Structure 1
Amino acid sequence: MAGRRRVPKHGVVVLCLLLTSLVACGGRPTATDTARADVQRVLDRRAAAVLDRDEAGIAETGTASWFEDVSAVPLASWAYKVTGVHRTGATATADAELRYQVQGYDQAPVTVARTVDLSLDAAGQWYVKDEKPARKAPQQLWDQGEVTVVRGRHSIVLGVGQSGERLHSFADLADHAVPAVSDAWGTTWSRHVVVLVPRSLQAMAGLLGSPASSYRGIAAVTTGETGAPAQAPADRIIVNPDAYGLLGTLGRQVVLTHETTHVATRADTTAATPLWLSEGYADWVGYRGTGRTPAEAAPELAEAVSAGRVPTALPSDADFGFDGSASGLAMSYEGGWMACRMIADRWGEAKLGEFYRAVGTHEKRPGAVEQAMDKVLDTDLKTFTAAWREYLRDQLD
């Protein structure tokens, strides 16, 4: 038939000989091809030993010194998935995904990228020499040292380089924050939090995979994907111990309650939610019931308003960037808080929560706030902004 060529039998033999270094004829894998499967088996054994708290079993698969660092963390699961192996003779580097769950807190596995260095032992078995975060991947807390664990009624606090007394203080703050958030937002969330307290600002940045300069002066951040489903892994509240230590008692509580609010609202916070609303609402919950006046809680904005510099528009997402001035960033947070406070004052706290959820249901950012204002608050953005500016003058001037 036209276009078809008959391959001589000896051609098949030659082809097979050429491919024997990769795959034997008949599809049987060679020793090179089995490296990935062999490494996967070793890491499977290692993961099982971690879950069983079997240090001897871990040692059979490689170095076990790091196990002391993670041994106190309550784990519901721990598993590796090898995604690639780069072998050079008797050594290899494996790319892997580590999936783990903190027992009682993570509804689904947290997935992190890891790099595993291995070598062949005298028996020809792969042996783990080192495991570390993959390039550009964030550290895990146990990468920074031995983890100490403190449990609260509604929280678990994991720390490195911190005293048990200090970690208990964070558990107390979190245990106060969880019911306070539920009272404002409702109880349709996990109602518990995971708090990580690293040794320093630099260590905090390592957990976030970002430069330390990005978080200087920021007391805490909450990790997690916006719009995450209910079964998503628990968020982590990561504390900057350097900045946190400068806060007073009330400030510490406001910060933990603010971050806990982000955990509670995560499923209803989407790409359609502007930062003035998500950050403003978290501050509103944080200050709720504290008795702090607007002038006390929003000093930068109060100074600007008193000087006749009333903002002309609600803060944009760009206004919340860390690369601007500290006073400008503070004014953005304070402006969002005052907008949410105004909604609670004029429309009621229930309407504020309803408005927040309504914004998050919109598919895209454009039109989300406007549609929710029309539906929930019976107003429009122009009228709302004018009312907000007047509210600032009334409350802060």
Structure 2
Amino acid sequence: MRSVLADAPSTKTGRPLLRAVGPRSALALSVALVAAMLIALVLQDERRRADPPGLTTGGPSPAAASTALRRFVEAVDERDPGLARDAAPPGNVDAAELLAALVGNAEKLAVSDFSARYVDAVGAVSPDGSWAAAVELTWRFAGFDGVPARAEVLVHLGGAGADTGIVQFGGDQPARGRRTPVWLTGPIQVAGNDKRVVLVAGSAVQARRVARRVDVGIHVVRRMLPRWRPRVVVEVPASAAALDEALGTEPGTHGSIAAVTAAVGAPAGTRTPAHVFVNPDVSDDLRPAGAQVVMSHELTHLATDATASPMQVWLLEGFADYVALRDVALPDRTTLARAIRLARRSGVPDHLPGPAELDSRAGDLQAAYEQAWLACRIVAERLGERGLVRVYRAADRGVPVERALRQAGLRQGELLREWRRRLRDLAG
């Protein structure tokens, strides 16, 4: 900033001569000085707000995030772990190794049709400058998924500007419909053949154990549904909490469920792959026979495309249990133990189990499953197994269950009366 006293040529003594500035010039310069000081103060205040002490410059940058996502997509497509490491923030070794492992997962699972589209920033910027973004992902396991899955996933990013990179997928977020695909959570074990692929966020021993259950379950289901050509995907997250993340549900939704067959992604009404998801916190505590029944039950759902079925839930779940228990030689007081206890405690129900009783968080869920199985067993006794399958297929096409039963030769009122009589007799 120039002074109001302008420099003049020096004298021979080396001391500068000063010349006076006129009144108009002085006023103009004073105004310029005040304006410049105000601008400097504003800029200084803006810098304070943008860069508080102790914070690393960073935060949401859609363009930088999109660049990091494109780099990771390319790494998956090329099966290039080195390129994946480049998609992490510089110097973040843990993130780089995680992304390299995810590329290894993609190779094991033959991931194709992989894409990532930035949607929006989510939440506040962390003190270290990292932040999260909602990202729409698509992916498909080639040879098993007929169409790509589509889901919104939370992606954590770090770094700033051109150094922005991916730190991890999922974690530390409420559900809000967002999912965290198991293959993007960390290193996995895969056991596959031409009929099934099992991916486990755990050990190779665990993967082989689950794969054996799948192989047996395929045989069980095909004995009842011989036309089924299995192309099965079974996913085992690390925990019940990870299962809720994989399915985009609120924490605790599947805490008591051993396994569930569910759409992998996409909103309702669109085509999307269905996989079996296993809850290791529950299934690992089951006896081998019980764990096998659970797997055969879920594979029945896959074989009949149950996730898209409009039928009444008692027939949907009861049929799957009927197939899974068809060759299990156990007395009724064992297979219906919980239903018997419930009947003794609360009386025999006056209706077949519905959505409320078969909700994943219902208090007497296992009793409701046993009740549904008993109803389907009575249908098979009256109409034969082929008759049960015909009723199931008709209901799957949208025919009301009451009409499907009547067309097959059994009235629903008659089924209900026999069902209640059996429970009453068993309850004593």
Matched, 1:257 2:296: yes
Residue 96 of structure 2 is aligned to residue 96 of structure 1: no
Amino acid aligned to 2:116: Y
Secondary structure at 2:117's aligned position in 1? Answer: strand
Within 5 Å, which residues of 2 pair with 1:283-362? 283-303=321-341, 309-325=347-363, 328-362=364-398
Aligned match for 2:406, one of 370, 374, 389: 374
Judge conservation of contact 2:232–2:275 (CA < 8 Å) in 1.
yes
Higher Rg of the two aligned structures: 2
Please give the residue correspondences for 1:69-218 in structure 2 after superposition, counting only pairs within 5 Å: 69-70=101-102, 71-72=104-105, 73-74=108-109, 75-84=111-120, 94-116=133-155, 117=157, 120-121=160-161, 125=162, 127-133=164-170, 136=175, 137-152=178-193, 154-160=195-201, 162-188=202-228, 190-218=229-257
For 1:241, the equivalent position in structure 2 comes to: 280
Counterpart of 1:295 in structure 2: which amino acid? R
Distance 1:44 1:310 in 2: 59
- For residues 283-313 of structure 1, the C-alpha deviation after alignment (integer angstroms, 9 at most, x for no partner) is 1111011222322211122345678933322
CA distance in 2, matches of 1:119, 1:292: 60
With normalisation by structure 2, the TM-score equals: 0.71
Read off the aligned partner of 1:55 and give its amino acid letter: P
Matches of 1:42 and 1:310, distance apart in 2: 60
Which AA in structure 1 matches 2:200? G
Q: Could you say what the CA RMSD is over the residues aligned between the two structures, in angstroms?
A: 3.3
- What is the one-letter code of the residue matched to 1:170? V
Counterpart residue type for residue 302 of structure 1:
I
Deviations 1:195-247 (A, max 9, x none): 22223323323323334533333211121289x99x94432222222221221
Gaps of 5+ in 2: 1-60, 90-95
Relative to structure 1, is the Cα distance of residues 387 and 312 closer, same or farther in structure 2, using a 3 angstrom cutoff?
A: same
- The letter of the residue matching 2:191 is V
**Residue type of the partner of 2:81?**
E
Distance (Å, rounded) in 1 between the aligned partners of 2:380 and 2:320: 13
Q: Return closer, same or farther for 1:279/1:204 CA change in 2, 3 Å cut-off.
A: same
CA contact (8 A) 1:178 1:192 kept: no
For residues 280 and 133 of structure 2, what CA distance do their matches in structure 1 show? 34
- Aligned partners of 1:114 and 1:213: how far apart in 2? 19
Cα distance in 2 for partners of 1:287, 1:388 equals 18
**Contact 1:159–1:167 (8 Å) recurs in 2:** yes
Of the three residues 366, 378, 385, the one matched with 2:416 is: 385
Secondary structure of the residue aligned to 2:169 is strand
Partners of 1:268 and 1:360 within 8 A in 2: no
Q: 1:169 is matched by which residue type in structure 2?
A: R
Distance in 2, matches of 1:308 and 1:126, equals: 63
Aligned length: 347
Contact 2:85 2:100 in 1 (8 A): no
- Pairwise CA distance, 1:374: 2.2
Read off the aligned partner of 2:320 and give its amino acid letter. Answer: A
Give the partner amino acid of 2:75.
Answer: A
Give the corresponding residue for 2:319. 281
Kept in 1, the 8 Å contact 2:180–2:248? The answer is yes
Mapped to 2, the partners of 1:323 and 1:296 lie a distance apart of 23
Q: Partner amino acid for 1:174?
A: V
> Which residue of structure 2 lines up, in the alignment, with residue 24 of structure 1?
none
Amino acid at match of 1:157: V
Tell me: CA distance 1:93–1:170, structure 2 relative to 1, closer, same or farther (3 Å).
Answer: closer
Unaligned runs of 5+ in 1: 1-34
Note closer, same or farther for the CA distance 1:267–1:240 as it changes in structure 2 (3 Å cut).
Answer: closer
Q: 1:51 aligns with which of 68, 73, 77?
A: 77
Contact 2:257 2:360 (8 Å CA) reproduced: no
In the superposition, relative to structure 1, how do residues 394 and 159 fare at CA in structure 2: closer, same or farther (>3 Å)?
Answer: same
Deviations 1:328-363 (A, max 9, x none): 322211110011111111101111111112112228
Change (3 A) 1:240 1:95: closer
Residues 1:391 and 1:186: Cα distance change in structure 2 (over 3 Å) = farther
Residues 308 and 144 of structure 1: is their aligned pair in 2 closer, same or farther, counting only changes over 3 Å? closer
Q: 1:384 to 1:210 in 2, by over 3 A?
A: same
Identity %: 26
The match for 2:32 is: none
How far the C-alpha of 1:99 sits from its partner, in A, is 0.5
CA separation in 1, counterparts of 2:307 and 2:249?
26
TM-score normalised by structure 1 residue count: 0.76
